Amino acid sequence: DTAVSQTPKYLVTQMGNDKSIKCEQNLGHDTMYWYKQDSKKFLKIMFSYNNKELIINETVPNRFSPKSPDKAHLNLHINSLELGDSAVYFCASSPWPGELFFGEGSRLTVL
């Protein structure tokens, strides 16, 4: 019974394609996040939703669009993928304020 689960775990695609990563949490948390970990292993927040409402929107290209159908799900859609989008994308959830719990990550490789 995984707390925060992401799919797919690995994603290899061509430049210019559109792809989505899904995230679900069964912890009953109100807040969910997307973080990006680049090739240098640096983790940076992209988006945060609280009860389906966008509360953090960092300087991220418009090609990235999060969507939260309900407070247990936060999906990330990426349009027109570029080489620089290759990274590991982590979903996380938390009560607020409180401890963050992360998923296993989704490794995106853009060729």
Partner 1 sequence: KQEVTQIPAALSVPEGENLVLNCSFTDSAIYNLQWFRQDPGKGLTSLLLIQSSQREQTSGRLNASLDKSSGRSTLYIAASQPGDSATYLCAGTQGGSEKLVFGKGTKLTVNP
Using CB under 8 A, list all residues that contact partner 1: 4, 31, 33, 40-45, 48, 50, 55-56, 58, 90, 92, 94, 96-105
Report in angstroms how near the CB of residue 70 gets to partner 1 at its nearest. Answer: 19
Report in angstroms how near the CB of residue 16 gets to partner 1 at its nearest. Answer: 27
Q: Which is nearer to partner 1, 9 or 82 (CB)?
A: 9
Give yes or no for a contact between 34 and 47, defined as CB atoms under 8 angstroms apart: yes
Q: What are phi and psi of 52, to 5 degrees?
A: 75, 5
What span, in angstroms and rounded, lies between the C-alpha atoms of 19 and 79? Answer: 7
Residue type (1 letter), 25:
Q
